[in-house]
Amino acid sequence: MLIPYLIAKIHRATVTGADLHYEGSIAIDEEIMEKAGLRVFQKVDVYNVNNGRRWSTYVLPWKRASGGIVVNGAAARMVHPGDLVIIAAYALLDEKELNSLSATILTMGDGNEVEKITHTKL
């Protein structure tokens, strides 16, 4: 049996932009993506800390070292620049995979600087 487990989280990132007329996605600074272990087109869930809204989308790269977190498409109606969000990626894993994997958690600070990286064994 496969069970969904958290494998990556970007905790309390600040939304830097919202573009209603762009194809749906969340664009994330390439450097932040790499540190979190996220890939282009990977499915993520996004949780808006400011208003409680939640949605699923996919990841696209944004300008490296820009701190950009840009919500695109219909989800742009659920955020405002300056809102804090949690971006979470999950994987379907079986019991055998749990011992060899860890979740990567990025805790974000001002300007979407990575304050802390934690690797937690599953």
The catalytic residues are 25, 58
Task: With CA atoms as reference, report the closest residue to 73 among 40, 39, 27, 32.
Answer: 27
Task: With CA atoms as reference, report the closest residue to 33 among 14, 10, 6.
Answer: 10
Asked if residue 78 lies in contact with residue 51, where contact means CB atoms within 8 angstroms, the answer is yes
Provide the 3-class DSSP secondary structure of residue 87.
strand
How many degrees, rounded to 5, is the angle at CA 57 between CA 3 and CA 6? Answer: 30
Q: Which two tokens stand for residue 90?
A: 């999950």
